[in-house]
């Protein structure tokens, strides 16, 4: 079991591995810090290990140091994926998990932190490249598994929180004209998609936990977007259609579909 003292040492942003990440993949480093804030706050809201969640977030994407230019947060020029097939792009993207574990072992990261690296994507679909592949090849000739991360799925509440925080932060970058309502809709949509895809099935997060986590994410993101946010007095929030269903309702639909 990793002690709090060890976690505090690993949370030091001057740690050699984090400094290396900041130099080689500055966009990923910035992303990881924000994910750390989201994960820590969410863990506190459900009385999980907030320090562990934050430290796990700091290191979860260290594998991106190997080929940083293939990840959007580090790109400032031509996209190298434009010259690759969707399947090759998928292979490169998914490899950051395996490479992260190898780097983590080299730096002697604790087992709990290595678990965050291996579990943070679960068996999620790399949707962009799968959709791109379906535009070039009939879906019946594609193996969906080839466009998913290898897993395992998150095994702890903290790992589940990291998966959600990671996905929410990435999605929030494309949020235009942010308002509290739009932030809530985005967070609900991301969490619902992960739930429906079965990515949270093994981490013991309850519906009550997920509700608290969602509220926490919205609060943090609203603070981040404060200077840009549109408040009800500035925009007609009634025009925002709340498409996301409560997760309890999604679960009912998911179970009813299984019975059919």
Residue 23 has pLDDT above 90, yes or no: yes
- Name the pTM for this structure: 0.88
Please name the residues in contact with 141: beta carbons below 8 A apart, sequence gap of 6 or more: none
pLDDT band at 256 (very low <50, low <70, confident <90, very high): low
Please name the residues in contact with 194: beta carbons below 8 A apart, sequence gap of 6 or more: 124, 163, 164, 167, 200
Q: Chain-wide mean pLDDT for the chain?
A: 91
What is residue 237's DSSP assignment?
G
Give me the phi and psi of 148, to 5 degrees please. -120, 155
Q: Break the chain into its structural domains and give their ranges.
A: 4-259
User: How far apart, in whole angstroms, are the C-alpha atoms of residue 154 and residue 191?
Assistant: 14
User: How far apart, in whole angstroms, are the C-alpha atoms of residue 127 and residue 12?
Assistant: 34
Per-residue model confidence (pLDDT) at position 40: 99
> What are 203-231's pLDDT values in tens digits?
999 999 999 999 999 999 999 987 665 55
Per-residue model confidence (pLDDT) at position 225: 86
Per-residue model confidence (pLDDT) at position 240: 43
SS3 content of the chain, % helix, strand, coil (to 5): 65, 0, 30
Strand extents, DSSP E, 92-173: none
- One CATH from 2.160.20, 2.60.40, 1.10.1060, 1.10.3210 for 4-259: 1.10.3210
Per-residue model confidence (pLDDT) at position 14: 98
């Amino acid at each position: 079991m990793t002690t709090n003292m060890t976690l505090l040492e690993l949370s030091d942003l001057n740690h050699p591995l984090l400094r290396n990440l900041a130099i080689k993949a500055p966009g990923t480093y910035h992303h990881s810090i924000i994910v750390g804030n989201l994960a820590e706050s969410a863990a506190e809201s459900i009385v999980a290990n907030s320090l562990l969640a934050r430290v796990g977030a700091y290191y979860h994407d260290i594998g991106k140091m190997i080929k940083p230019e293939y990840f959007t947060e580090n790109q400032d020029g031509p996209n190298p994926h434009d010259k690759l097939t969707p399947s090759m792009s998928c292979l490169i993207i998914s490899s950051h998990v395996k490479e992260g574990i190898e780097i983590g072992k080299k730096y002697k990261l604790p087992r709990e932190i290595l678990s965050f690296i291996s579990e943070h994507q679960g068996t999620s679909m790399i949707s962009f490249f799968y959709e791109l592949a379906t535009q070039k090849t009939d879906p019946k000739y594609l193996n969906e598994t080839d466009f998913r991360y290898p897993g395992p799925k998150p095994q702890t509440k903290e790992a589940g929180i990291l998966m959600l925080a990671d996905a929410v932060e990435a999605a929030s970058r494309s949020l235009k004209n942010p308002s509290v309502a739009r932030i809530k809709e985005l967070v609900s949509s991301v969490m619902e998609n992960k739930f429906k895809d079965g990515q949270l099935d093994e981490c013991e997060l309850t519906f009550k936990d997920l509700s608290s986590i969602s509220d926490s994410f919205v609060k943090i993101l609203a603070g981040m977007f404060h200077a840009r946010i549109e408040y009800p007095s500035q925009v007609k929030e009634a025009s925002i259609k709340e498409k996301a269903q409560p997760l309890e309702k999604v679960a009912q639909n998911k179970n009813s579909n299984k019975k059919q």
